[in-house]
A and B are shown apart, each in its own frame.
Chain A
Amino acid sequence: MKQKFFSLFIAALLAATTFSSCEKVIDFDGDETEPILVMISFPDSGSPWKVRLTESRFFLSNDTIATIKNADVTTEVNGRPVNSVVTYLDNGIYDLGYTPQVGDSLTLHVSVPSKGTMKAGCRIPGNVSVSDFSCTSLDTTWTKYIYANSVIMECINGSVEGKFTLNDPAGERNYYMIKFSTTKLTFRSGPYFDNPPQWVSGQYFYLSVDDDVLFDINATDEIFDIGGSDNADYGYEILFTDERINGQSHTIHFSTNINDTKPESAYLEVYSVSPEYYMFKKTLRAARNQDDVEIMFSEPVQLYSNVEGGGGVLGGASVAKIPIF
């Protein structure tokens, strides 16, 4: 309420000054007009290492984001070059032909003809240790949609509640992320279509974590809706550090609602991520959450980057996938 009032107050103040104010379009006079190279790569242990290469877009341009198809991409693992075949897939994505392992130090070199070079490095964190998982509530209601006596679609409209214990290694700062995902056949797999199922897709759902230790949101903020909190305990990706649970075994309660065509399976994904991964995701979330009033009266969120010569991130992860059903 108070924040809304102050927003109105600011708006009124600006409106009051606007009686004499005027706005005009001005030319941009600066040196950051050329696009920069951007790499986005989140390798995890046990999965093929991929990277997406794009160019940024000048903020006054209406062009679409350009993907990079002709990059020369080389990799290093633990300081040694990897002789693997790099394959360009699609949409700026390259398969780097290597599956990282826990503890690997990865370095990625990208050279784009007439555009420049960029470089980034990260480490694959240790395996995340999760125990005592239990599903305290699982409500799945399958709804069948029938057309011409055939089931064309099955949907779920349910909820999941559960808990697990995260065993945090002592001594070092650890960064975590939790996601809830489902896999399913695309709805084109039903008899309504002639085509057989083509591929398995995944979808992430909003996840809610009820934890006053990890997310210290004070009571006053909640009562008066005062800004500052980014609702870190709710979203597609729940990010936190072990700052308040360092070296402890900590039980985390979660819940989610699933509204989807019939999934084949559902998982809780618990990630141990590198600092770069965490910082990028954290700032990305903050940048997306910043509203117009906040942008006027606070510094715009600066997206984290560990890429030399460009933007984006190379951040490593280890994942524990816990099957729900």
Chain B
Amino acid sequence: MKKKILLLLFLAATAATWAQHTVSGTVTDAKTGETLIGATVFDTVSKKGAVTNQHGRFTLTLKEAKAVLRFSFVGYETQFHPTDLTKNQRLDIRLKGSVTLAEVTITGERAPHVESSQGGYIEIPVEQVKSVPVIFGETDVIKVVQLMPGVQSGSEGMSGMYVRGGGPDENLFLLDGVPMYNVNHLGGFFSAFNSDAVKNISLYKGSFPAHFSSRLSSVLDITTNNGNDKEYHGGLSVGLISAKFNFEGPIVKEKTTFSLSGRRTYGDVFLQPLIALFMAADGEEGKVNAGYYFYDLNAKITHKFNDRSRLYASYYMGDDALYARYKFGQSYTSQDFMRLGYNWGNIVGSLRWNYELTPKLFMNVTGSYTRYRNDLSITEESKRTYYSDQYTMRFNSGIQDATARVDFDYAPTPDHAIKFGGQFLHHIFTPETSSMKISENDQNENYNFDTVIGQSIVHANEFMAYGEDDWRINDWLKVNAGLNYTGFLVQGTFYPSMQPRLSGRILFNDRLSAKVGYAYMTQYLHLLSNSSISLPTDLWVPVTARIKPMTSQQVAAGFFYNLMDSLNLSVEGYYKYMDNLLEYKDGASFWGSSQGWEDKVCMGRGWAYGVEFLAQKNLGRLTGWLGYTWSHTYRLFDREGNILNNGKKFPAKYDRRHDVSVVLSYKFNDHIDASLSWVFSTGNAATLALQDIDPSGGERVQQSNEWDYYNYSSTVPYVRSRNNYRMPNYHRMDVSINFHKKLRRGQRTINISVYNVYNHQNPYLVYESYQWSALDNNGIKVLKQLSIFPILPSISYTWKF
């Protein structure tokens, strides 16, 4: 039956291609030559249109001999191109950026979010990301994504993402199409994405197209800048905790470009003199040298062989580093040191080749490598007159992926946008490798010992093939139907998965549509983590013979409305069922060790449902969005050997009933713009032992007053159910103002931001504590809340040329 349907679809697609001509090409920024993703191409005669793909490329096959093509993109001036279609044509368009994001009414064109068959999808303009105020003035892609409905942050200030009731490891972060495993710096206070290097941000929360796979809850697809193909441009920014730069330009004009950006924190530079000062005050001058920093670097080279062929080489490198050196014993004849080095971070590299096989068929071939690793080294060293020794212990863990992928875009008619392709992915998991090195020198007698303990490398292969058709059946009905097949082979166990995807759009008029969608997703990787804080000890591990792949089925439906061409409104509901979810057993912790991890987790089921509302304004002086989410998510672990919470349902940790976010940016004039964001959310669920019980008694005893003293009169905290306590609600307002000034060469911007402007003490941690009571001269038990970010002003200076 499936084969027949596919055959019919193929025949319908190819039959319609007769006596038609194709216009294809690329839409780019006139000033920089950057390809524009999601630009609209629309024939005002036939009322047919297309949208540029990830590489800025479009294909439009039309029947009519005459066509008037309109090219438009948010923030750019619209261009019209009348053309006689007597043969296939190539049309490369360069759109000029408008001075402001003017509110221009374009009649007859549907807003992309109304027109597209994709629900649960949000495009976030990079300029808006840069205008949202954040901690220490450091713009952060993920923190802005967290402000979207359906997306929740973990603890305050953290980069963790919880999408539609899913866990933090259920999000696929793609940097130029390559998965990235650790997207955080400094335990999640900052994300690994430097906004200066980013060109496009797309978030998928549901109704996933078939070309995405391997995570249950979301895909955050980030595309980096290619680089200006005409002129050299760059910028330098200095903030309170970090400095960053970006530089781009042509290597060969309009043919080969580069883009380079980097940033580094310099807290350690200031910290070291402070430590030296404190140690000197304690009379221990020069004994401690310690610091922490992170850096990241994005580099990309793009080469255009000809109009049909382009090559992209991109590279990302980011590391966090913690170091310390401590002299703990020193005399004329002896010295004792302890050194600590802890580094963790990613490397992502990819080589992509775009080739237009025919005007209707476009191919993208990608080879990529991604690696996340953490490396801890502790060395203890003693030096004596005739003797010295050195003990070094190292702990390494990580994951590496090598990927080969091919994608095809085939547009036989304006009514069909077919994608198909495949991928092979080889994972190398190094959950834990420990090594020990000992060297001793005793009166010129050497003794060396070097061994590796617990090396546990796991290889796994993942295959994927997909096909999907975005099919405009008629003027009001559009369907995106696809199938994704994946297989995962690990340690002799093979897990296949057929994942159907279906979404549809019913158009009521040019401004209003309804969308429904269904997606089946499978995930083969798990993140072992101790807490909501992203720690370098977090480990990625594959499914095993015992731990099955996680799966989810999500249905979503919603209405999408465009008001006066400048305000996009949507309301969408979803229901998600998840299976084989992992939760840690009571008291289980990992501490960077994967040993026996299967014994520390339980597999169970989860449900999530909710309604999301979004009003987004991307044009005009005032831009921003209002998002609201009502949601509910809970878990059930009641299967034999996998029982949690006595086999009863419990709310998930990030089950929040209400989430509100308001983001507003206003451009007063060319010199001043300001922005404001406000968030409110129901408090996180947490497990607190709200009662104490005395578990003694009832034992095998001969006398009533006889007790085993181990049990005698000692109470224990009693947890009635998991996540039984709701932390106080969270709310916060941030503001930011930019002062721009044109200089003789370039432009400078001074940014002043205030995080948590009304200094609300938001809960980070709630715990039981004691407080001294003068009343009865005794300690009384109290509930305390720890807040970590009070009002935080910051300033940064940026120079762009």
Interface string of B766-801 (1 = CB under 8 A from A): 101001000000101111111111101000000000
**CB–CB B716/A228 < 8 A:** no
Least Cβ–Cβ distance between A20 and chain B, in angstroms: 6
Interface string of A84-126 (1 = CB under 8 A from B): 0000011111000000000000000000000000000000000
Q: Report the contact-size class of chain B (Cβ under 8 Å from the partner).
A: 35 or more
**CB–CB A92/B785 < 8 A:** no
A201 at the interface (CB under 8 A from B): yes
Q: Given A25-B782, A89-B704, A227-B591, do A5 and B687 touch, yes or no (CB 8 Å)?
A: no
Least Cβ–Cβ distance between B385 and chain A, in angstroms: 29
**CB–CB B589/A220 < 8 A:** no
Tell me the bound Cα distance from A10 to B728 in angstroms.
24
**CB–CB A218/B595 < 8 A:** yes
Least Cβ–Cβ distance between B277 and chain A, in angstroms: 16
A148 at the interface (CB under 8 A from B): no
Least Cβ–Cβ distance between B164 and chain A, in angstroms: 23
Residues of A within 8 A of B717 (CB): 59, 287, 300
Residues of A within 8 A of B704 (CB): 89-91, 93
A38 at the interface (CB under 8 A from B): yes
Least Cβ–Cβ distance between A244 and chain B, in angstroms: 13
A322 at the interface (CB under 8 A from B): no
B457 at the interface (CB under 8 A from A): no
Tell me the bound Cα distance from A224 to B187 in angstroms.
24
Q: Interface SS of chain B: helix, strand, loop or mixed?
A: loop
Among the stretches A129-137, A150-158, A249-257, A290-298, the one at the interface with B is A290-298
From the candidates B691, B702, B788, name the one contacting A57 in the complex (CB within 8 A): B691
Residues of A within 8 A of B747 (CB): none
**CB–CB A27/B783 < 8 A:** yes
**CB–CB B698/A90 < 8 A:** no
**CB–CB A30/B690 < 8 A:** yes
Tell me the bound Cα distance from A204 to B710 in angstroms.
8
Q: Interface SS of chain A: helix, strand, loop or mixed?
A: mixed
**CB–CB A301/B781 < 8 A:** no
Among the stretches A160-168, A187-195, A303-311, the one at the interface with B is A303-311
**CB–CB B703/A201 < 8 A:** yes
Tell me the bound Cα distance from A298 to B529 in angstroms.
9
A3 at the interface (CB under 8 A from B): yes
**CB–CB A303/B719 < 8 A:** yes
From the candidates B533, B584, B590, B691, name the one contacting A59 in the complex (CB within 8 A): B691
Tell me the bound Cα distance from A143 to B224 in angstroms.
81
From the candidates B586, B703, B708, name the one contacting A286 in the complex (CB within 8 A): B586
Q: Given A93-B704, A311-B691, do A298 and B719 touch, yes or no (CB 8 Å)?
A: no
B444 at the interface (CB under 8 A from A): no
Residues of A within 8 A of B383 (CB): none
Residues of B within 8 A of A226 (CB): 591, 593, 595
Q: Given A54-B693, A202-B706, A203-B708, do A319 and B700 touch, yes or no (CB 8 Å)?
A: yes
Interface string of B700-729 (1 = CB under 8 A from A): 111111101110000111111110111010
**CB–CB A24/B701 < 8 A:** no
Least Cβ–Cβ distance between A54 and chain B, in angstroms: 5
Residues of B within 8 A of A298 (CB): 530, 584, 586-589
B495 at the interface (CB under 8 A from A): no
From the candidates A13, A59, A317, name the one contacting B187 in the complex (CB within 8 A): A13
B358 at the interface (CB under 8 A from A): no
**CB–CB B718/A303 < 8 A:** yes
A35 at the interface (CB under 8 A from B): yes
**CB–CB A284/B771 < 8 A:** no
**CB–CB B646/A223 < 8 A:** no
Listed by A's residue number, 14 A-B pairs whose Cβ atoms lie within 8 Å are A2-B376, A5-B378, A18-B788, A22-B787, A32-B691, A39-B698, A42-B700, A65-B693, A65-B715, A226-B595, A230-B587, A289-B587, A298-B587, A317-B700
Q: Spell out A's residues near B (CB within 8 Å).
A: 1-3, 5-6, 9-10, 13, 17-18, 20-30, 32-33, 35-36, 38-42, 44, 47, 50-52, 54, 56-62, 65, 89-93, 199-204, 218, 220-221, 223-224, 226-228, 230, 236-237, 280, 283-284, 286-290, 294, 296-305, 311-312, 317, 319
Knowing that A38-B694, A56-B691 are A-B contacts, what are 13 other residue pairs whose CB atoms are under 8 Å apart, sorted by A's residue number? A25-B782, A36-B718, A41-B698, A52-B696, A90-B704, A90-B705, A220-B453, A290-B587, A297-B531, A299-B585, A302-B645, A302-B646, A311-B720
Interchain residue pairs A-B with the least CB separation, the first 6: A52-B697, A56-B691, A297-B530, A40-B698, A89-B704, A41-B698
